[in-house]
Amino acid sequence: MTNILELSNITKTFRGGVVAVDDVSLDISEGEFLTMLGPSGCGKTTTLRMIGGFDYPDSGSILLDGKDITDDPPFRRPVNMMFQDFALFPHMSSAENIGYGLKIAGVSRAEVEERVRGMLDMIELPLMADRMPSQLSIGQRQRIALARALINSPRVLLLDEPMSALDAKLKETMQVELRHIHDRVGITFIMVTHDQTEAMIMSDRIMVMRAGAIEQIGLATELYDRPETAYVAEFLGASNMIPASITRSAAGLIARAGDMEIKVDGAEGNVDDGAVRSLFIRPEKIKLARDAAASDGASTFSGVVKELFFSGNAVRIDLDVGADRPVMVHHQLDTGLNEAGLPGVGATVTCSVRADTVRLFDTAEVAAIEAEEAAA
Ligand code: ATP
């Protein structure tokens, strides 16, 4: 696929010495939906703003379609930005808001009208042309803002936390809607969010940032299933990180925590016999069954139910396995044990987990991340 954007060794330090973006290099493909994800202050907005020309890097370069745009002002770049608060002109109708950019660019009235109509159809609001922003729902306002940002067919659309003004239900609808609009227009979208679910639902690729640098970039499934670092594992989705001592034998690696002995995939590399590592297991990879049988590469273990948290379609079960912390299990209801058949607090249950779904991370690194999270 052709690269539309190439960021090379971008660094940005603000006054006071804050290194907001630290040597970031990144290629973005034409038509892709890339999301920059990370906690507050990790540098995602600054990276987005440098692509838009609202901030300039101290060093490094930005190429768009092979042309160096590093020092170009925003209006010289074929890049538009949709802001968090949508920034619609309150005294203009939907149609006037959408057509504004074309009008000031001197496009004929007839053409503006035709293109605005096309955009209103595209966002599925054909009857809203004459409504003022105050007469629109928040979801409709967002679509108008999107149409305004897309009407002049930018090469790249930047979206800064586009869902932050929406309530939970509308957010879900708009995440899907925005994804559909992206697919319809075929324009490259780059979004910033701190919401991991949103990133996974909407994007082709996700770039997780930490302290100004890229921690990992890849497909949502890659980051979720095979996080390269403890930081990515902890940031994306729920995870168990259980201190475990590692035994090496001819059969491979075994992680022991309390009464639990878990086989670990050989891909985890060289770990010394007797070393202590954080055992990473996604809660839903633990299969709960009264008599879970060990299939190929799977380990079984037992634990005592400490607490249950019912959430409608699933239940979280915290198991005491005699380790430093409980093991969290996510059990999807209607896929085995249903609600009525769930074990009660104090019951002993058997579980199984496959070696290729678990990973080992550095324990000190995990402790540092958990301390950071607790302080945030
Ligand atoms: P958020 O989600 O809170 O916007 P972010 O990941 O987008 O966070 P940035 O806004 O890019 O992070 O900020 C990165 C760092 O740079 C932070 O420490 C922030 O305080 C600092 N920073 C950002 N803009 C400026 C500025 N104009 N002047 C000084 N420091 C800034």
Query: Cβ(195) to ligand 1 under 6 A?
Result: no
| pLDDT for the residue numbered 338 | 66
Identify which of 24, 36, 45, 48 to mutate to test ligand 1's pocket (most ligand atoms within 8 A of the CB). Answer: 45
Sheet arrangement for strand 252-257: 260-264, 252-257, 240-249, 276-281, 359-361
Distance, in Å, from the CA atom of 214 to the CA atom of 36, rounded to the nearest integer, reads: 9
| pLDDT for the residue numbered 291 | 46
How many CB atoms sit inside 10 A of residue 239's CB? Answer: 23
Spacing, Cα 112 to ligand 1 middle (Å): 37
Domains of the chain: 3-233 (3.40.50.300), 238-375 (2.40.50.100)
Identify which of 46, 83, 190, 214 to mutate to test ligand 1's pocket (most ligand atoms within 8 A of the CB). Answer: 46
Spacing, Cα 212 to ligand 1 middle (Å): 9
Spacing, Cα 37 to ligand 1 middle (Å): 14
> Positive or negative, the Cα torsion across 216, 218, 222, 223?
positive
| pLDDT for the residue numbered 293 | 55
Spacing, Cα 133 to ligand 1 middle (Å): 30
Which range has the worst mean pLDDT, 8-22, 296-310, 314-328?
Answer: 296-310
How many CB atoms sit inside 10 A of residue 176's CB? Answer: 11
SS3 label, residue 196: helix
- For ligand 1, atom 15, name the residue with the nearest CA: 20
Query: Cβ(46) to ligand 1 under 6 A?
Result: yes
Spacing, Cα 20 to ligand 1 middle (Å): 6
Identify which of 14, 49, 193 to mutate to test ligand 1's pocket (most ligand atoms within 8 A of the CB). Answer: 14
Distance, in Å, from the CA atom of 329 to the CA atom of 336, rounded to the nearest integer, reads: 14
| pLDDT tens-digit map of 223-260 | 999 999 999 999 999 999 999 999 987 778 899 999 99
Strands 287-289 and 348-354: antiparallel
Distance, in Å, from the CA atom of 210 to the CA atom of 204, rounded to the nearest integer, reads: 20
Distance, in Å, from the CA atom of 60 to the CA atom of 44, rounded to the nearest integer, reads: 16
Query: Cβ(18) to ligand 1 under 6 A?
Result: yes
| pLDDT tens-digit map of 140-151 | 999 999 999 999
| pLDDT tens-digit map of 256-285 | 999 999 999 876 677 888 899 999 999 999
Residue range 21-38: average pLDDT? 96
Residue 336: which pLDDT band, with cuts at 50, 70 and 90? low
Residue range 179-183: average pLDDT? 94
Residues 6+ apart with CB under 8 A from 20: 12, 13, 14, 43, 46, 212
The residue to which tokens 């020309």 are assigned: 53
> Six-digit token pair at 193?
């969010």
Residue range 305-323: average pLDDT? 93
| pLDDT tens-digit map of 73-87 | 999 999 999 987 788
The length of the chain, given as a count of residues:
376
Q: Residues 171, 163: contact at Cβ < 8 Å?
A: yes
Residue 57 pLDDT > 60, yes or no?
A: yes
Nearest to 163 by CA among 135, 186, 185, 196: 196
Spacing, Cα 162 to ligand 1 middle (Å): 17
| pLDDT for the residue numbered 6 | 97
Spacing, Cα 157 to ligand 1 middle (Å): 21
Query: Cβ(56) to ligand 1 under 6 A?
Result: no
What angle separates helix 168-185 from helix 109-122, to the nearest 10 degrees? 120
29 forms beta bridges with 3
Q: What is the pTM of this model?
A: 0.90
Strands (E), the chain: 3-14, 18-29, 33-37, 59-64, 67-68, 79-82, 156-160, 188-193, 205-210, 213-219, 240-249, 252-257, 260-264, 276-281, 287-289, 298-310, 314-320, 327-332, 348-354, 359-361
Which range has the worst mean pLDDT, 66-70, 308-312, 370-374?
Answer: 370-374
Quote the percentage of the chain above a pLDDT of 90. Answer: 71
Average pLDDT, the chain: 91
Nearest atom within ligand 1 for CA of residue 16: 29
Nearest atom within ligand 1 for CA of residue 45: 7
- For ligand 1, atom 10, name the residue with the nearest CA: 45
Nearest atom within ligand 1 for CA of residue 36: 6
Please, what's the b/e burial string for 4-42 (b: 16 or more CB within 10 A of its CB; e: otherwise)? bbbbbebebeeeeeeebbbebebbbeebbbbbbbbbeeb
Query: Cβ(40) to ligand 1 under 6 A?
Result: yes
Query: Cβ(258) to ligand 1 under 6 A?
Result: no
∠ Cα 3 7 11 (to 5°): 175
Q: Residues 123, 148: contact at Cβ < 8 Å?
A: no
| pLDDT tens-digit map of 36-56 | 999 889 999 999 999 999 999
Distance, in Å, from the CA atom of 45 to the CA atom of 14, rounded to the nearest integer, reads: 13
